[in-house]
């Protein structure tokens, strides 16, 4: 399918809609009953043994990286083990003492909040198209009449450096470009450290995943800043529909005050309770493939609320887009054959785009394809 250059219908800025003072959301944002936030039954115990109280109180694993770089071997082992379990069972964890400066995290969030709070004309200068998605956007996909999510976003390329074009980044607030440049640099470094941990935990050489991604200067990285305006009818819609992240892994800086991200756990949706100064890291489809499904790319979605806007920075850390990604041969055996065919990240993105959304983690459909 040829990429289409224009949106199929006029773009609605969700923030403008929210600020117009409506008290009912347009039909275009109303999700079918089964996708609405409150459809989960909290009374049925699940395989994991949850009861209804647990579902509310449970959180994704929170892991402190401090001990990884200390002297104590035992503590280091324990931390690695916790990362391993999180990748196998949750596909998600929060990380503390990750090495990224807390003030820089705060500034990154603040410059984007300022950007979104500028007048609409200032933002429209950066309006994006479905060709590259770079810039200010309010929808994903080009299906005419599609049901939309309750969010706006700004999308930009950070790596490879040949795709980084600061002219396409907002020039206001003044500090945005410098802050995001520095932030990107630090988050890319964190991504490299995490790839090393995952490689070790999988019993592979510590540079295995980095090499599979093409090496430090060749990886792909992009930032999607999500803005979820207040919503007068949060029970009827979603800020971001259920999806798995197609890339390598995602390093998310959530809003410090407002929760909204939900992670699928069996039949339940677990609301992530963000820990101050932590990043939320999740496994994407490409690491699920490389690990031959030992690590899971888990479905997640975002709910909105009627009182507070929410901002999040999703940094996607991806393999170079033209390298073949396939299960590591060390993780393949007669008992555990390769679950996925070799495919480049470029091919994969095209594949999921043409296939259209499916209810489960997108990469699952590759298994059933064979």
Question: Which of 226/237 has CB closer to ligand OGA?
Answer: 226
Shortest approach of ligand OGA to residue 190 CB, angstroms?
17
Tokens 């309750």 label which residue?
150
Choosing from 176, 314, 325, 339, the residue that interacts with ligand OGA (CB under 6 A) is 314
Residue 137 is a binding residue for ligand OGA (CB under 6 A): no
Tokens 């083990």 label which residue?
81
Question: Which of 152/245 has CB closer to Ni ion?
Answer: 245
Helix extents (H) in the chain: 14-19, 52-57, 73-85, 102-116, 120-124, 176-201, 208-212, 285-290, 345-355, 364-369
The span from the CA of 302 to the CA of 34, in Å, is 15
Shortest approach of Ni ion to residue 224 CB, angstroms?
8
Choosing from 149, 245, 309, 364, the residue that interacts with Ni ion (CB under 5 A) is 245
Shortest approach of ligand OGA to residue 211 CB, angstroms?
26
95's contact among Ni ion, ligand OGA, none, with CB below 5 to 8 A by partner kind, is none
Shortest approach of ligand OGA to residue 299 CB, angstroms?
10
Shortest approach of ligand OGA to residue 140 CB, angstroms?
10
261's contact among Ni ion, ligand OGA, none, with CB below 5 to 8 A by partner kind, is ligand OGA
Residue 302 is a binding residue for ligand OGA (CB under 6 A): yes
Size of residue set near ligand OGA by CB under 6 A: 12
Residue 245 is a binding residue for ligand OGA (CB under 6 A): yes
Choosing from 219, 240, 293, 304, the residue that interacts with ligand OGA (CB under 6 A) is 240
Radius of gyration of the chain (CA): 20
Residue 254 is a binding residue for ligand OGA (CB under 6 A): yes
Residue 300 is a binding residue for ligand OGA (CB under 6 A): yes
The span from the CA of 240 to the CA of 362, in Å, is 15
Residue 149 is a binding residue for Ni ion (CB under 5 A): no
Q: Who's near 135: CB < 8 A, 6+ residues apart?
A: 126, 127, 128, 129, 154, 155, 156, 168
Residue 299 is a binding residue for ligand OGA (CB under 6 A): no
Residue 134 is a binding residue for Ni ion (CB under 5 A): no
Burial class (CB in 10 A: 0-12, 13-18, 19+), 119: exposed
- CA distances to 88, 211, 310 from 258, rounded to whole Å, are 27, 37, 6
The span from the CA of 262 to the CA of 49, in Å, is 19
Residue 94 is a binding residue for ligand OGA (CB under 6 A): no
Shortest approach of ligand OGA to residue 93 CB, angstroms?
14
184's contact among Ni ion, ligand OGA, none, with CB below 5 to 8 A by partner kind, is none
Q: Who's near 134: CB < 8 A, 6+ residues apart?
A: 128, 155, 156, 157, 168
Shortest approach of Ni ion to residue 269 CB, angstroms?
14
- CA distances to 275, 309, 352 from 257, rounded to whole Å, are 10, 10, 33
Structure tokens at 55: 């579902």
- What are the residues binding ligand OGA (CB under 6 A)? 224, 226, 240, 245, 252, 254, 260-261, 300, 302, 312, 314
- What are the residues binding Ni ion (CB under 5 A)? 245
């Amino acid at each position: 399918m040829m990429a289409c250059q224009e949106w199929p219908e006029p773009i609605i800025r969700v923030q403008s809609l929210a600020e117009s003072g409506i008290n009912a959301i347009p039909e275009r944002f109303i999700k079918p009953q089964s996708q609405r936030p409150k459809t989960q039954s909290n009374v049925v115990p699940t395989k994991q043994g949850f009861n209804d109280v647990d579902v509310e109180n449970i959180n994704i694993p929170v892991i402190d990286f401090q001990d990884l770089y200390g002297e104590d071997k035992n503590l280091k082992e324990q931390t690695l083990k916790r990362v391993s379990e999180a990748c196998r069972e949750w596909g998600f964890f929060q990380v503390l003492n990750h090495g990224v400066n807390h003030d820089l995290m705060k500034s990154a969030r603040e410059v984007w909040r300022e950007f979104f709070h500028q007048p609409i004309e200032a933002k429209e200068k950066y309006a994006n198209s479905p060709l590259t998605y770079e810039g200010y956007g309010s929808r994903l996909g080009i299906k005419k009449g599609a049901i939309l999510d309750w969010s706006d976003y700004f999308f930009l390329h950070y790596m490879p450096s040949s795709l980084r074009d600061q002219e396409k980044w907002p020039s206001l607030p003044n500090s945005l470009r410098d802050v995001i440049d520095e932030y990107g640099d630090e988050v890319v470094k964190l991504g490299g450290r995490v790839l090393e941990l995952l490689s070790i935990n999988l019993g592979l050489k510590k540079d295995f995943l980095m090499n599979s991604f093409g090496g430090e200067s060749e990886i792909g990285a992009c930032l999607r800043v999500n803005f979820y305006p207040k919503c007068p009818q949060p029970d009827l819609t979603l800020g971001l529909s259920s999806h798995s992240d197609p890339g390598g892994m995602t390093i998310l800086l959530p809003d410090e005050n407002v929760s909204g991200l939900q992670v699928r756990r069996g039949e339940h949706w677990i609301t992530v309770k963000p820990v101050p100064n932590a990043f939320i890291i999740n496994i994407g489809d490409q690491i699920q493939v490389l690990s031959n499904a030992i690590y899971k790319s888990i479905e997640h979605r975002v709910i909105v609320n009627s009182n507070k806007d929410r901002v999040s920075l999703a940094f996607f850390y991806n393999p170079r887009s033209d390298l073949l990604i396939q299960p590591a041969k060390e993780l393949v055996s007669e008992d555990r054959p390769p679950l996925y065919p070799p495919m480049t990240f470029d091919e994969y993105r095209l594949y999921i785009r043409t296939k259209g959304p499916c209810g489960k983690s997108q990469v699952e459909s590759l298994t059933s394809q064979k």
